[in-house]
Structure formats: structure tokens, C-alpha cells
Amino acid sequence: MKRIIYNIYYYFLFKFKNPKKVKLHPRFDKPIKFGFRVGNRYFFRLAHDYDMYENRFRYLKTFYTEVQNKLTSADINEFCEASRNHINNYIKAIHEQKEIDPRELSRAIGLLDEMEHRSTWYFEPTSLYKYASVVYFDLSEDIRDYDVIYSNKKIEHWSKKKTLFRLILKELMEGVENLLTLSSNDFNYYISQIQEKKDKQQNLISEAGLIDNKKSIEITM
């Protein structure tokens, strides 16, 4: 309820005040700077990273590691468990003297190849969005901590703005300058290829008998 009241207040506030002129968080007295707008919501970040509260900073470190590794521990476990399932099926067929399906081994190797390939990506889109959801906040959020449920809704809201992902990439990632020089069409194609790869990987994991409960965020440019 409190967040709804804050959102209504800031909605009308920014009808009369330029958000770029807001330099201090009205509730927590921290220097902030305007980041971007999506719809009627305005998002900011701390002017100084060292001002981030400890509870929120823990999430920042976790998501930053995910962005750098391109694979979360859950991703690695899924790839390994799916590979193990195929290998176990192959070994079980040998022990039970049943017809051996050689595709079981090739599928296991294929999963390991996909995991290795994933580690070479510049970034993994969903992890980058989660990292950005810690850095950027609207003024209704309690920036002393990190609300996972609210942040997931925030990410879904962001994904509707076509140009936002490129902006986040530019602001938060290093070593991607060559991507940012791509034309809009080429950049869109690159992202679509990553999404296609992710879908293929999840299909391979599902074929191994694992149920994928993760909701993939569709990245649109």
C-alpha cells in the first residue's frame, strides 16, 4: 500500500519537475542521478556506488558474478544433471543388456559443448537485467534492501522498452564496445541469436528429463 502511495506521489511530482534535476533521494538522503524512463516510471541509480546499503550490495555482487560467468550455479547444475542422465541411460542399457542408443552419449557431449559455448558469450541477457535491477530503482523502492518479487516485475516492465537493453549494456558492461557500434538491425540479430541459443539449450535439458521452471525473459530491441 505504501508503495502505491509513493508511486502516485512521484507520478504527479514528475509532471511538474524534471527527473534529471532530482539529485538527492527524498527518503534516504543519498545522492542519486536519473537513469531512464519506461512508461510513466522513472528509474535512478546512486551517484556513488559506495553509498549502496549492505543488504542490497550482496545481491549486486551475486548478479555481477552471474553476468561475468554467463552461467549461474543453477545453470551449471542443470547442464551437468542433464548430461549425467544421458550417460546413466547409456550405462544402464549396457548393464541390462538392452539395445544401446549411441545418441545418449552424443547428447551428453552436446550439452557439455553448449555449456562451454555459453561461457564465451559477452553477456547473458537475463543475468544482466537482474544486475541492472539492483543498480537502478524507482523512488518508491526501499533501497536499503532488495525486493526480489518487485524486481522481477520491474525487469518484465523494462523488457517492453526496445532500446533499454542496449542502454543498460552500455552503462554497466565493459568490453562490449564492438557490440555497441553495431547497427540496430545487427545488434537485434545478435541478441536474437543468443535467445535462440538459450532456447536450444533449455530444449536439450528438457529432453534429458529435467523440468525447466525458469521463466525466460524475452529481450526485445
Question: Considering its fold, how many domains does the chain have in total?
Answer: 1
Kindly state the average pLDDT of the residues 22-50.
91
With contact defined as beta carbons under 8 Å apart, do 38 and 160 qualify?
yes
- Does residue 18 fall inside a structural domain? yes
Q: Would you place residue 71 in the very low, low, confident or very high pLDDT band (cuts 50, 70, 90)?
A: confident
Report yes or no on 186 lying in a domain: no
Could you report the per-residue pLDDT of 139-197, keeping only the tens digit for each? 989 999 999 999 999 999 888 887 788 888 888 877 666 666 767 777 777 777 777 77
Is 74 within the bounds of a domain? no
CA distance 26 to 148: 23
Please report whether residue 127 resides in a domain: yes
Is 6 within a domain? yes
Report d(CA 52, CA 127) in Å as an integer: 20
Judged against a pLDDT cut of 60, whether residue 90 lies above it is answered with yes
Q: Domain for residue 114, yes or no? A: no
- Lowest-confidence region among 13-22, 28-37, 43-52, 91-100: 13-22
Q: Is residue 95 included in any domain, yes or no? A: no
How far apart CA 91 and CA 105 sit, in angstroms, is 10
CB neighbourhood size of 182 (10 A):
13
User: pLDDT tier at 134 (50, 70, 90 boundaries)?
Assistant: very high
Q: Is residue 100 part of a domain?
A: no
- Look up the pTM and report it: 0.70
**Of the listed ranges 50-64, 116-130, 140-154, the one predicted with least confidence:** 116-130
Residue for grid cell 549502496: 52
- Give whole-number Cα distances, 94 to 31, 46, 80, 83, 103, in Å: 66, 60, 21, 17, 14
Where in the sequence is the domain holding 139, given as residue range(s)? Answer: 2-69+121-181
- How much is the average pLDDT of 2-13? 61
